Chain A
Amino acid sequence: MNDYILSCDSTVDLTLEHVRARKLEFICYHFFLDGVMYKDDLGQTIPHEKLYEAMKNGADTKTSQINIDEYLEYFTPFLERGKDILHVSLSSGLSGSYNHGVTAARELSEKYPDRKIYVVDSLGASSGIGLIMDTLADMRDAGKSIDELYSWVEENKLRLNYWFFSTDLSFYVKGGRITKAEGMLGGLLGICPLLNVNSQGKLVPREKVRTKKRVIREIVARMEEYAEGGPNYSGKCYIAHSAIYEDAREIAALIEARFPNLSGKVLINSIGATIGSHTGPGTAAVCFWGKKRED
Chain B
Amino acid sequence: MSNLTLSVSPHIRGKITTRTIMLDVIIAMCPVLVMSVYHFGFRALLLELISAAACVACEYVWEKLRKQPITVMDLSAVVTGLMLAFNVPVTMPIWELIVGDIIAIIVVKMLFGGIGCNFMNPALVGRVALFVSFTGDMTNYSFSRHVSVDALTSATPLAALDKLNFGDFWELFIGNHGGVMGEVCSLAILIGFVYLVVRKVIKPIIPLTYMGTTLLFSWIFGQNQPVLALFSGGVIFGAVFMATDYVTTPFTNKGKLIFGIGCGFLTAAIRCFSNSAGGVSFAILIMNLLVPYINDLTRTRPFGGVKAK
Q: Do A and B come from one complex?
A: no
Chain A interfacial positions (CB closer than 8 Å to B)? none
Chain B interfacial positions (CB closer than 8 Å to A)? none
